[in-house]
Amino acid sequence: MVSRVIPVDPFDLVIFGATGDLARRKILPGLFRRYCAGQMPEEARIIGAARSEMDDDGFRDLVREAVRKFGGGRDCSDEALEGFLAHVGYEHVDAMGEGGWETLKARLRDGMVRAFYFSVAPSLFGALAERLRGFGLADDDSRVVVEKPFGKDLASARALNSTLAEHFDETQIYRIDHYLGKETVQNLMAVRFGNMLFEPLWNAQFVDHIQITVAETVDVSGRGAYYDKSGAMRDMVQNHLMQLLCLIAMEPPARFEPDSVRDEKLKVIRALDPVDYHHIVRGQYIADEKQPGYRSHVEDPRSTTESFVAMKISISNWRWAGTPFYLRTGKALKSQASEIAVVFKDAPHSIFGPEAGRHANVLVIRLQPNEGMTLGVTIKEPGPGGMRLKDVALDMSFADALGPDAEDIPDAYERLIMDVIRGNQTLFMRGDEVEAAWTWTDPIIEGWQRRGEVPKEYDAGSSGPDDALMLMHRDGRKWRDIKA
């Protein structure tokens, strides 16, 4: 296979919070895999920066361990790892003080792309941005990358945006939602806008409803302190599910370019109706024989934070008025399965009579695992016995259809970091987009607080609370089974 890896320009990438969990799990192993793929130029440098006192070699040991634990790529050898480590250095920096900034600056070279990755708590964004400018490390061409959570409500997101805006232009700010870096999430756009087949039917006239499911088997153990303050609404819905919804619902952008795409996504978020609280189900998992319950994973034994949300939402625009979107996401569910199902309406009239039953086409886009697409179509049951109809699946897994190419796909972080170096903001969230998402989310969370709402219990390892099933049943519809 001819390599399609295009090397990026030489860069200096400084990772603040370089000894933290995200850096060790995702960022550093991801960079290593890009190195193995031949995408990283010889002059590239990665500089870890954090509070811990450590020298270059100490940090290289940490990176070596992280890569071994969290994965090099298929073609990555030990030799390659040593080669990669030659690009890596470390500077001890005091984010809130003066220490380390001058020496960090001395490491940066002119004529390189310069990017600063804030893999730290949002409360440090302001201090870092101020020092990067104050000590002259960043200029008008530098880029900053910020991680979620981007705020916990509209007010805090606005405050973060305005702090960053004091020091950087919007074109320099890369807000990560790693779902946008996933191959299959980008495929949503390819499926919709690269095919003539679907787009004419992609509207309320032909689509009965859309289901978006992001089900996880993992629970919140090990991150209870963060999660309990956040809950599924802030952790998953406000960002990841919202992005999926935008890509499924948006109008075709004129071009696959940052602002064209982000303008269209923003219009979707702004067209979302406020959600009636009868249309939301919050859940919290309780212990089953095999797994402990949510409350034993967090500090507060009476926590009412949700680990599951299901909701029915509507979009008030010409394309979607009248077509509900059902969203659900949760932890400690029975399978890991993320998918979007577009359920089309029944044919307007059955020429086969009532005994043929009702049949609707369903297009399922599986995001993970077993990425692929299935289109349910109706055919005649074979053999004699009259015109009996049957639904069958045209099923495609990307791995089967694309062969080895499907195995060489960079993970979300790899792709997004390379996009930062390339200066391409298409797959990053713009400030107004994040604020619009909070504008819609805030009243939902405030409503729960005001009403003192307690989440419904569901068994760990189940499909979520029964009330979530009712949310669909009431409308004469049914969730698809959560299965990997």
Least Å from the CB of residue 22 to ligand BG6: 10
Could you tell me which of 41, 43, 62 has the C-alpha nearest to residue 53? 62
Task: Say whether 209 is catalytic.
Answer: no
Least Å from the CB of residue 231 to ligand BG6: 10
In the complex, residue closest to ligand BG6 by CB: 235
Which residues in the 30-59 window bind ligand BG6 by CB under 6 A? none
Query: Residue 59 or 428: which CB sits closer to ligand BG6?
Result: 428
Compute the distance between CA of residue 61 and CA of residue 55 in angstroms, rounded to an integer. Answer: 10
Least Å from the CB of residue 329 to ligand BG6: 9
Residues 163-202, mask of contacts with ligand BG6 (x by CB under 6 A): ----------------------------------------
The verdict on 216 binding ligand BG6 (CB under 6 A) reads: yes
The verdict on 235 binding ligand BG6 (CB under 6 A) reads: yes
Compute the distance between CA of residue 380 and CA of residue 396 in angstroms, rounded to an integer. Answer: 21
Could you tell me which of 339, 334, 393 has the C-alpha nearest to residue 364? 339
Helical (H) or strand (E) element with 341: strand 337-344
- Total residues at the site for ligand BG6 (CB under 6 A)? 3
Query: Residue 235 or 371: which CB sits closer to ligand BG6?
Result: 235
Residues 80-99, mask of contacts with ligand BG6 (x by CB under 6 A): --------------------
Least Å from the CB of residue 27 to ligand BG6: 14
Least Å from the CB of residue 479 to ligand BG6: 19
Query: Residue 208 or 216: which CB sits closer to ligand BG6?
Result: 216
Compute the distance between CA of residue 484 and CA of residue 478 in angstroms, rounded to an integer. Answer: 18
Residues 6+ away with beta carbon under 8 Å from 317: 267, 268, 271
Question: Among the options 92, 178, 240, 297, which is catalytic?
Answer: 240
Least Å from the CB of residue 36 to ligand BG6: 21
Cα four-point dihedral sign 152, 158, 161, 164: negative
Query: Residue 167 or 265: which CB sits closer to ligand BG6?
Result: 265
Residues 6+ away with beta carbon under 8 Å from 200: none
Residues 344-383, mask of contacts with ligand BG6 (x by CB under 6 A): ----------------------------------------
Residue pair 417/116 in contact by the 8 Å Cβ criterion:
no
Half-sphere exposure of 282 (CA within 13 A, CB side): 19
Query: Residue 297 or 359: which CB sits closer to ligand BG6?
Result: 297
Structure tokens at 83: 């080669």
- Strand-strand pairing, 45-50 and 88-92: parallel
Query: Residue 324 or 330: which CB sits closer to ligand BG6?
Result: 330
Residues 6+ away with beta carbon under 8 Å from 244: 179, 185, 188, 212, 214, 340, 367
Q: Which residues are annotated as catalytic?
A: 240
Footprint of ligand BG6 (CB under 6 A): 216, 218, 235
